[in-house]
Structure 1
Amino acid sequence: MSLLLLLPFAVCAQSLQKRLDTLLQGYHHRGQLEGTVLVARKGKVVYQGHFGYANRQFKVPITQDTRFPVASITKLYAAILVLQLQEEKKLDIHQPVFTYLPDLLPVVNKRITLQQLLLHSSGLPGDKVPDYYARSTPRPADFIRKNVKDTLLSEPGSRFRYNNVDYILLGAVIEKVTGKRWEQVLQEKVLAPLQLVNTGVVRQQDVIPQLAYGYHNYTFGTGTAQDTLFNDETPYFENYATAGAIYATAAELLRVDQALYGNRLLSPAAITLMYTPVKELGYNKYARGYPALGSYINSVTLASGKTLTVIERRGNINGFNSSLLRCVEDNNTIILLCNTDTGNMEKIGDDILRRLYPL
């Protein structure tokens, strides 16, 4: 291709980068963005920006190598593991939990399927925040046994109710059917094949190089740069297990995203299953869409009038705020990893989308 033909593409890329940087620097200067933002088109990074400090006490800046706890984006990895095990015929998501864990929640587990856990429609009572601070209970089955009542709040499959417990219970199933710790299964089936060396599991006793500290003030996009930020009281992240214990860099999260496009982690049939919305559970305002296995499917109407399907997965634990937006029709991806909760991830993500899809 000649230089004259390449020039418009280069100018277009520079224009997009400038538009995104102006937008995101504005959020940062208003005190509503601290973290890393990565935007990719067809797998190629077209923008990456780093804002604020990974450690505010020592003024350590956030860089491309900063690792962030991704909170509930962990659930995407858990869904991948479950579907991989289904493809290996080690489990069947349509089977009840009882098939794999007959002694865990023995009264209700005959009525709850693995698919209902994946869709947050189990009907199980929710988790309690103090449970994650009490002491380390790294094995998912032990956490469930200790903290979850053997009862139901609603009929399984009847309604969506967001619940970390559902995915922690999936972690117990993964450990049971493989005979391995879920962290080892993650390493063998996702991290090693994709060569993800900056992704792992947060454990309170581990010193993890380049892991960001968390800060909060619970403003979520309504505050200013002058507002006070507080140090996070660190929970035992390992208690969240398959619901929220993973850390990653933006670049390695993009590698997972691209592996899904390339069917390197799951077959096309499994991908279709994972991203088929279950509309019978209804549109959920919390998720901005319909539940699917490990993510949510929503539609965004652009200024041009085009309706864009977005696969969304967000995460939040204290100051750690994260968002993964996948526009699979065009292979466009937006990743936001933050170590404060001062920003509104939905609004920032939508503003980036508008600049990716101008009139």
Structure 2
Amino acid sequence: MKFSLLLFLVFPLILFGQNDIQKIIDQEYEKGHFNGSILFFQGKQTQKINKGFSNIQFDVEINDRTRFPIASITKLFTSLAILQLQEKGLVDFKDTLGKFIPELPENCKIISIQDLLTHHSGLENEPIKAVVNKYSLDSYIKEFAKKPSNDTVKFNYNNVDYVLLSQVIENITKKKFSKSIEDLIIIPLKLENTGFVNENEITKHLAYGYHNYSFGEGEKNDPLFNDRRYISNYYGAGGMYSTTEDLYKLLLSIKNNVLISENSKNNFLLKPQTNEYVDWLSGKPTFGFYYDDKLNVYRRSGSIDGFNSEIMLNENFDKILIILCNTDTADLQNLANRIYFVK
């Protein structure tokens, strides 16, 4: 009798929270501010919501198999690979780039692995031509790895940092970067819906991207434009696709120390490596996340044209939110906060 009463008291609360999240998504979709997939895990309850279309032209609805380019959430995979190689003694965070990529300009050779992981390299941001024309990894680095001579090193979020880390991983493992990530992360975790965008191949269930740069400020009938960037050019900075389910598996593997040790998780992946709070990222940089000490959550976001993504989780990995979109019509950080802290 007591057990039945407990169920009666608990489940309405769980359902109420789930219904609140569904209501938020429905409202945002009706306003034209959301198109994508959500997975929210708390305690032992998991809620998944798919809303909208993976291909708007042909009315292809988003479902659990829809694969989204995840933009800068790719950087989490790259960071995890570096942490794995560091544990094996193949790289040290204090190592400089000259050790791995000797053909770099002299003022770039002194940049450390840690500088790249935390965006303190002082490198210039890549221009738009870096993603509207196709570049190999080598040619991208030759063209865009540049550091101004008068630079004062400070936090500067840019994709070149993680493209260089891609080359470091490639040179250490003696394999293509994508193959290294497959061997280190994707295959061991059986992430069957995760991989690298290749514009020369047909990837089943891959979402199309649509943008208008409205980020929650637009109207439902505002026009959207087809994405045109070479996502593959982003390599370890933003070249991957995945699903909410696969990303959830990835996060659980981190929780359970499957990919990296407890020490690496606590001292590098979860611990801020600088004391700078970056306002637009709402956190202090770790080697993979941004720690929001105001709300006591970790964040990892991504944005490439219409493909926008957001991860929020707590230190114990028992409250996790993953949002993947193929339009940029949502203010994802605000939406994530609303869902994560729903009462």
TM range (shorter): over 0.9
Cα distance in 2 for partners of 1:33, 1:4 equals 38
SS at structure 2 position matched to 1:174: helix
Work out the number of aligned pairs and report it. Answer: 341
Q: 1:168 to 1:64 in 2, by over 3 A?
A: same
Partner amino acid for 1:252? D
Shift of 1:329: 4.0
Aligned residue for 1:27? Answer: 28
2:272 match: 277
Match of 2:117?
118
1:299-338 to structure 2, matched below 5 A, reads: 299-300=293-294, 308-329=295-316, 331-338=318-325
Contact in 2 for aligned 1:38/1:45 (Cα 8 Å): no
- The offset of 1:5, in angstroms, is 3.1
Choose the corresponding residue for 1:189, options 172, 176, 184: 184
Matching of residues 184-333 of structure 1 within 5 Å: 184-233=179-228, 235-272=229-266, 273-280=268-275, 282-300=276-294, 308-329=295-316, 331-333=318-320
- Matched residue type, 2:332: M
In structure 2, which of residues 160, 163, 169 is the aligned counterpart of residue 174 of structure 1? 169
Structural RMSD (CA):
1.6
Aligned to 1:305: none
Does the 8 A contact of 1:71 with 1:320 survive in 2? yes
Q: Distance in 2 between matches of 1:330 and 1:254?
A: 10
The 5-angstrom pairing of residues 70-89 of structure 1 reads 70-89=70-89
TM, length-normalised to structure 2: 0.95
CA distances 1:214-273 after superposition (whole Å, capped 9, x unpaired): 11111100112121112112x222210000001000000011011111111110111111
SS in 2 for 1:286: helix
The CA distance in 1 between the partners of 2:122 and 2:23, in whole Å, is 45
Q: Aligned with 2:29: secondary structure?
A: helix
Shift of 1:294: 2.1
1:31 deviation in Å?
Answer: 0.5
Shift of the alpha carbon at 1:79? 0.2
1:197 and 1:332 map into 2 onto residues whose CA distance is 23
Deviations 1:131-154 (A, max 9, x none): 1111242x2x33111233354562
1:146 is aligned, of 139, 143, 150, to 143
Conservation of the 8 A alpha-carbon contact between 2:312 and 2:340: no
* More off after superposition, 122-131 vs 80-89: 122-131
Question: Runs of 5+ in structure 1 lacking a partner?
Answer: 301-307
Structure 2 distance, partners of 1:21, 1:153, is 51
Number of the residue aligned with 1:61: 61
Task: Give the equivalent residue in structure 2 for 1:103.
Answer: 103
- Following superposition, the deviation at residue 295 of structure 1 comes to 1.7
Measured at CA, do residues 119 and 28 of structure 1 come closer, stay the same or move farther in structure 2, by a change above 3 Å? Answer: same
- Aligned CA distance change for structure 1 residues 274 and 5 (closer, same or farther; 3 Å): same
Is 1:39 paired with 2:40?
yes
Indicate the SS of the match to 2:107.
Answer: coil
Question: For structure 2, which runs of at least 5 residues remain unmatched after alignment?
Answer: none
- 1:77 is paired with a residue whose SS is helix
CA distance in 2, matches of 1:66, 1:334: 17
TM-score, length basis structure 1: 0.91
Q: Is the 8 A contact 1:124 1:153 kept in 2?
A: no
Q: Check whether the contact 2:270–2:289 (CA below 8 A) recurs between aligned residues.
A: yes
Question: What is the CA-CA distance between 1:212 and the residue it aligns to?
Answer: 0.4
